[in-house]
Amino acid sequence: SLVFYEPLVVNGMPRAKPPPDVAASGAKEWEFALVAFLVGKRLPGRNVKETLERKWGQAGHFSFHVAGNGVFLIKFDNGQARDWVLNNGPWDVWGYHLALRFWRNDMSLSLDDCKSIPVWVKFKSVPVHYWNKDGLSHIASVLGRPLHMDANTTNKRVLAFARVCIEMSASSSFPDSITLELEDGITTSIGVEYPWRPAACTLCKVFEHSNKTCPRAVRREWLPRPVIMAQRKQTDAEGWITVKRKGDKEDLPVSTQLIVEEDPLLDKEGESKLPATPVKEAPTVLGRHGSPRGLKENDLVVGEDSRVGTRPLLKGSSSGHKKRKKKGQGGQGGGGRRTR
């Protein structure tokens, strides 16, 4: 059960003031704890715990606590298990980077803006006499605030590269090399590699999202051209036709004017009457000797406008009779019997 303690009154307002040993004993419990959060993603604590238990099972037992707002507190039984997790990072959960920090008693467990996160960095071509805590701290301070080294770097087992965890800002340019000035004034270049480089937003200066997903970024959306469907022209009862001209925004009605010509066969009252037969003069026909000969009253004349043909035929012409008579002589093809 809890115990009541008399609060401290300052300027008429009550205030809680525990003795220093209360904070010291409480900090002892979280001595080997790590503060963790996922970069750019919020997942339920149950899913994060199940994933870390499978990955960190060989390190030893740990307890998982949800601090809220995407922040988790992971408490280990000893410092050896905690250091194993740090030295074998970076870690991810469902493909999202898991940022880890040492717990401190003055650390806030609220994650408002993710403006800086721990990033593992490899330094290459580091001079051997700078391969110590102070030398690597000076080199790492060019990129951010140094946090810790892995076990191989601390024990100098592998001198090919130094592996240091640095808390880097989202506004960092993440350079590929940094300049180290030696004791004699000569400068040398230190290579920098990032096993995992977080995506940062250059507008908001945070690691929570990238420029592609930034809510402040101006996006361009390409829209397809509108498809104009062809439609039949509709005619209303009054004879108006709706015509869509090219480039017009609105439909413009265009009237169709009907031109009616009067039929000459209709009289003024609307009744039809037969046309009068035109009077034609009798054509002049030449005789045998080229002298003109008049036609009799009963002679038939077929003109060019007749349906029989365009060649005029006269009554009494024997051209057709002679052809039939010639064809009939001697049978077909002129192969008949001749009479002497």
Instruction: Using the structure block, give the residue that is written with the tokens 């350079």.
Output: 175
Q: How many residues are present in the chain?
A: 340
The alpha carbon of 100 is separated from its chain's Cα centroid by a whole number of angstroms, namely 36
Q: In what order do the strands lie in the sheet with 71-76?
A: 62-68, 71-76, 33-38, 96-102, 91-93
Threshold 0.85, pTM exceeds: no
d(CA 193, CA 126): 13
Please, are residues 217 and 203 in contact by the beta-carbon 8 Å criterion?
Answer: yes
d(CA 191, CA 170): 20
d(CA 300, CA 168): 121
Give the amino acid at 245: R
What per-residue confidence (pLDDT) applies to 73? 92
Provide the mean pLDDT of the chain.
74
Please, are residues 329 and 321 in contact by the beta-carbon 8 Å criterion?
Answer: no
Q: Which stretches in the chain have pLDDT values below 70?
A: 111-114, 202-203, 205-213, 215-222, 227-340
What per-residue confidence (pLDDT) applies to 49? 92
The greatest distance separating any two alpha carbons of the chain, rounded to the nearest whole angstrom, comes to: 170
